[in-house]
Structure 1
Amino acid sequence: MSHIGRTAGPGKQTLRREVLAARDRLTVDDVREAADALARRALELPELAGARTVAAYVSVGAEPGTLALLDALRARGARVLLPVLLPDNDLDWGAYAGEGSLARVRRGGRMALFEPVGRRLGPDAVTAADVVLLPGLAADSRGMRLGRGGGSYDRVLARLERADAHPALVVLLYDREVVWHVPAEPHDRPVQAVVTPSAVRRFT
């Protein structure tokens, strides 16, 4: 378990800064090698083996890479849904049809994202997913996930709860981002598993 966040003191913003600084130090080769290992590890998950619909995302910058995993899921016959960021930070969804179906989009001062160019399926499309792959910056031994703080995936998780939908929730991280403690708020929900390049960690 990483030394990042080892003490109970750091708040979410401090932990975010620490993780993002560590990611900034990764080389292109580091990111590529980790992405290949992450895809292999994630594809071993029984939840993904049987999934008909997977809600995922396209990694950007030094995030743990997802494109190899998305392509492997499509090759297995899974329907892969990708998010489209709405002006209010909620997420719409579209189907992934290969890397050529992605457009690089920048909204305001935000970092550029890759979004599907096809038909929009509506924010409720995620409720049909068997597995939701969540971006994150860290997770702890309880399965509590630290996001970037925009609230988009808090809305997704709340939508799933309202719809009484219970997909497997899985966060994709680097090994050192499984930490001692993630500060949690009442609305935060734990994930069932964390996949890193070297391991799968499950939570009850």
Structure 2
Amino acid sequence: MDELTPALAQKIAMRDRLLTARRRLSLLDLQEAAQAIAGHLLATPEVRRAATVAAYVSVGTEPGTGPLLEALLDAGRRVLLPVVLPDLDLDWAVHTGTLRSAGRGLLEPVGPTLGPEAVATADVVLTPGLAVDRSGMRLGRGGGSYDRALGRVPVGTFTCTLLHEGELVDFVPAEPHDRPVAAAVTPSGVTPFASSPG
């Protein structure tokens, strides 16, 4: 792409600002946020009644998913985790509790992959993101992986992005390929979006 669209330029500036803020978080901040987010999600009716949850393994200063993944497995849920494909699309595999290094600092499940469409079998889909606005529009890291995955999720599925405090914002710039989520969760609670499909 030779020229930045206004929305893309806004996204780049917003990503830079949010990633800078995340780098300032302490290890204690990250641990406390991970515990709080897990507690809020596990208390939602959608997660309580879900048989299958599509989640992800957090890296770096992302809101931590370790406590959540452990609790889901302990509760007997089927947990799907992403396997990043060379074109940045997402395949999925069942999480058995064992992870392997996947390059780019990522960890992925060790089991056989089920195909990109497997995300459609999940009752709940949890996504990473840098920000979500009050309409449910999500700002990711720019690879489009989760926009493609969310495009395969049936309407009405509970889709939720994990965020730090201050990342639920009034406006996220959007492009035609961007997909909204039904809710966001921060350490202070879950916020559903009435206007989102789902």
| TM-score normalized by the length of structure 2 | 0.90
Q: Deviations over 1:1-25 (max 9, x none)?
A: xxxxxxx9x7111110011000111
Q: Equivalents in 2 of 1:95, 1:83: separation in Å?
A: 9
1:32-71 to 2 correspondence within 5 Å? 32-71=31-70
* 8 Å contact from structure 1 (residues 127, 165) kept in 2: no
Q: Deviations over 1:112-167 (max 9, x none)?
A: 1010011111111111000100100001111111000001111112223xxx4542
Shift of 1:68: 0.5
**Equivalent position of 2:152 in the other structure:** 159
**Equivalent position of 1:188 in the other structure:** 178
1:100-115 to 2 correspondence within 5 Å? 101-106=98-103, 111-115=104-108
Q: Does 1:126 align with 2:119?
A: yes
Q: Equivalents in 1 of 2:156, 2:146: separation in Å?
A: 15
% identical aligned pairs: 57
Q: Equivalents in 2 of 1:104, 1:197: separation in Å?
A: 28
Q: Equivalents in 2 of 1:115, 1:187: separation in Å?
A: 26
* 8 Å contact from structure 1 (residues 84, 115) kept in 2: yes
**Equivalent position of 1:11 in the other structure:** 10
Please tell me the residue identity of whatever aligns with 2:150: L
Q: Equivalents in 2 of 1:136, 1:13: separation in Å?
A: 14
Q: Equivalents in 2 of 1:189, 1:35: separation in Å?
A: 25
What's the secondary structure of 1:81's corresponding residue?
Answer: strand
Please tell me the residue identity of whatever aligns with 2:25: L
Shift of 1:91: 0.8
Q: Could you tell me which of 167, 170, 189 is aligned with 2:160?
A: 170
**Equivalent position of 1:203 in the other structure:** 193
Q: Equivalents in 2 of 1:22, 1:58: separation in Å?
A: 21
What's the secondary structure of 1:80's corresponding residue?
Answer: strand
Equivalent residue pairs, number? 187
In structure 2, list runs of 5 or more residues that go unmatched: 1-6
Q: Does 1:27 align with 2:20?
A: no
Please tell me the residue identity of whatever aligns with 2:22: R
Q: Equivalents in 2 of 1:120, 1:86: separation in Å?
A: 11
Q: 4+ residue runs of structure 1 moved beyond 3 angstroms?
A: none
Shift of 1:187: 2.6
What's the secondary structure of 2:118's corresponding residue?
Answer: helix
Shift of 1:30: 1.2
In structure 1, list runs of 5 or more residues that go unmatched: 1-7
Q: Equivalents in 2 of 1:144, 1:58: separation in Å?
A: 22
* 8 Å contact from structure 2 (residues 151, 179) kept in 1: no
